[in-house]
Amino acid sequence: MIPRLSIVVPFYDVERYFGPCLDSLARQTFRDFEVVLVDDGSRDGSAAIAREWCERDSRFQLISQENRGMGPARNAGIQRARGEYLTFVDSDDLVPRHAYELLVGSLDRTSSSLAGGNARRFNNTSGVRQSYVHRIAYGADRPATHVLEWPDLAIDRMVWNKVYRRTFWDQFGYEFPAMRYEDWPVALKAHLDAVTVDCLAAPTYYWRERESGESVTQLKFQFGNLEDRVRSAGMILDMVDRRAPELRWKVHRHLAMIDLATVVQAFGSAPEHELEAVLALGRRLTGRLDPEALVGSSAIERLEYHGLQSGDVELLQRIARYRADGGRPARAPAERHPVLPWRYRALGLPDTPGTPADLHRLSRRDLTLRAAATELVWEPDALVVTGTAAIDHLPAVEDSTLRIALLAGLRETPLTVQRHLLTDSAGQRRLIGFTARVPREALAAMPAKREAVRLIATMRSGPVRRRSLLLMQMQYPVGDRIGDDWFQPAKASDGRLLLRRMRGEPELTAAATDGDVLVLTGRLPSGATGSELVLARAARELRAPLETGPGGVFTVRVPVAEVVDATSPDDPFLDRTVLIPKIGDALILVTGLSTAVSAQQGDRLLTVARSPGQYLNLIEMPARVTAARIHAGDRSVTVEGPRWAGVDYGRIVWRRFLPNSDDAVDAVCRVTLDGDRWSARVNLDDLGPAQDADWTLFAADHAVQAESFALTGLPRALDRYRLYARAGTLHLETN
416-423 and 411-414 beta bridge pairing? unpaired
Residue 126 clears pLDDT 70, i.e. is over it: yes
Domain ranges of the chain: 5-208, 220-329, 369-502, 507-622, 626-734
Q: What is the reported pTM?
A: 0.90
| Nearest-angstrom CA–CA distance, 51 and 41 | 14
Backbone angles phi, psi at 167, to 5 degrees: -65, -35
pLDDT category of residue 425 using cuts at 50, 70 and 90: low
CATH class of domain segment(s) 626-734: mainly beta
Task: Using the Cα atoms of residue 183, residue 188, residue 189 and residue 191 in order, give the sign of their dihedral.
Answer: positive
Instruction: Note whether 369-502 and 507-622 share their fold.
Output: yes
Looking only at the bridges linking them, the beta strands covering 616-622 and 626-627 are unpaired
Distance CA 684, CA 11 (A): 42
pLDDT tens digits, residue range 376-414?
999 999 999 999 999 988 877 778 899 999 998 888 999
DSSP 352: -
The letter for the amino acid at 69 is: G
Does 329 have pLDDT greater than 90?
no
If one compares 301 and 36, the residue with the highest pLDDT of the two is 36
Question: Are residues 275 and 283 in contact, defined by beta-carbon separation less than 8 angstroms?
Answer: no
Percent of the chain with pLDDT over 90: 72
Q: Taking the CB of residue 278, how many other CB atoms lie within 10 A of it?
A: 24
pLDDT of residue 215: 43
Neighbours of 314 (CB within 10 A): 14
Candidates 2.60.120.620, 3.40.190.80, 3.90.550.10, 3.40.50.720; correct CATH number of 5-208? Answer: 3.90.550.10
Contact in structure between 667 and 617 (CB atoms under 8 Å): no
Per-residue pLDDT tens for 86-121? 999 999 999 999 999 999 999 999 999 999 999 999
Contact 361, 300 (CB under 8 A): no
Element holding 584 (H helix, E strand): none
Rounded to an integer, what distance in angstroms lies between the CA atom of residue 265 and that of residue 268?
A: 6
User: What is the third-level CATH fold of 369-502?
Assistant: Immunoglobulin-like (2.60.40)
Question: In angstroms, rounded to a whole number, what is the distance separating the alpha carbons of residues 273 and 276?
Answer: 7
At position 130, the amino acid (one-letter code) is Q
| Complete DSSP assignment for 653-696 | EEEEEPTTSS-EEEEE-EEEEETTEEEEEEEGGGG-S-TT-EEE
Mean of pLDDT over the chain: 91
pLDDT tens track for 218-243:
455 688 889 999 999 999 999 999 99
CATH number of 507-622: 2.60.40
- State phi, psi for 514 to the nearest 5 degrees: -135, 90
pLDDT exceeds 80 at position 18: yes
Contact 509, 519 (CB under 8 A): no
Instruction: Report the relative pairing of strands 485-491 and 497-502 from DSSP bridges.
Output: antiparallel
Percent of the chain with pLDDT over 70: 95
Pairing of strands 60-65, 33-40: parallel
Residue 4 DSSP one-character state: S
Least confident range of 374-383, 473-482, 559-568 = 559-568
C-beta separation of 15 from 52 below 8 A: no
What would the mean pLDDT of 522-549 be, rounded to a whole number?
Answer: 84
